[in-house]
Amino acid sequence: MTRPPVETRIRTSYREAIRAAIFEAMLEDERVFLMGEDVGRYGGCYAVSKGLLAEFGPERIRDTPLSESAFVGAGIGAAIVGMRPIVEIMTVNFSLLALDQIVNNAATLLHMSGGQISVPLVIRMATGAGRQVAAQHSHSLEGWYAHIPGLKVLAPATLEDARGMLGTALRDPNPVLIFEHVLLYNMEGEIAADAGAVEIGKAAIRRPGRDVTLIAYGGTLHKTLLAAEILAKEGIDAEVVDLRTLRPLDTATLLESIGRTHHAVVVDEGWRSGSLSAEVAARLAEEGFWSLDAPIGRVCSVEVPIPYPRHLEEAALPQPARIVAAAQAVMRR
């Protein structure tokens, strides 16, 4: 009897997985190039592009001026004429300086041109808090972009998704935004040596359970998995769902999960008012009301600009203890 081949696995980090994805994409397709602030000689604000300038040269690893509107606009123009640009924005807060380009141009041109103009643009940006860099560098605004028709919005939370989402995004004929949580860059683990492109548009069950569904994404996923372990010691078996794609939302997987558990808590590092968690909760209430045995719980950031002091920053963000408390509340424990 022939044994199946043993999968070769390698140790890597979230940062290195993204770098490998960029490297592979640039080798495979000469139309792919990377542009942004400090991506070249400095190697990227989070060292994601370190070494790529020496490998591919300044034509394909392009340092830009400190003008998000200008270089995102240049990326849109390059995409329209057939290139496959990867635009890096240093932090989601700075993406606000390019809102006109992203929302009024990249997201709308296909529709406004009657299907004649595609914008195959990928924009990567760091999001989230936890590094004590204060309010102008720490917010989670991906829910804002998930509001916009014409965009796909991704939030890789695992090494496999960090490695694989970029390749899939580059093959999309329309703009894709990838949000990389700052606390994940140093995360290490093992992935398959031949790991490559992954499916986008589907949520993933990261931990099966029968009592309560905990819905998370990006930087909140690992806190939520930790909360699930704590709950298990108290006799509550939590299922953890990773949204992965924020637009379009995979509502079907969420409904299937609450159909099993009959309870739900949504964890979102964005603010509660008008948040992505509000959209998820509304969809569950609209389409899965009769599956629920209790109101939907939500755990979000406190509604203040993210503070600089460590203890206040931690208090403002969703933490495992708050997720555990929310799950206990919906279970009436």
Could you list the active site residues?
68, 137
Dihedral sign (CA 230, 234, 237, 241): negative
Q: Determine the Cα–Cα distance for residues 293 and 278; give it in Å rounded to an integer.
A: 19
Q: Which of 279, 306, 36, 305 is nearest to 145 (CA)?
A: 279
Residues 6+ apart with CB under 8 A from 151: 102, 106, 107, 145, 174, 175, 176, 177, 247
DSSP 172-219: -SS-EEEEEEGGGTT-EEEEETT------S--EEEE--SSEEEEE-GG
**What is the length of the chain?**
333
Residues 6+ apart with CB under 8 A from 50: 19, 43, 44
Q: Determine the Cα–Cα distance for residues 88 and 94; give it in Å rounded to an integer.
A: 11
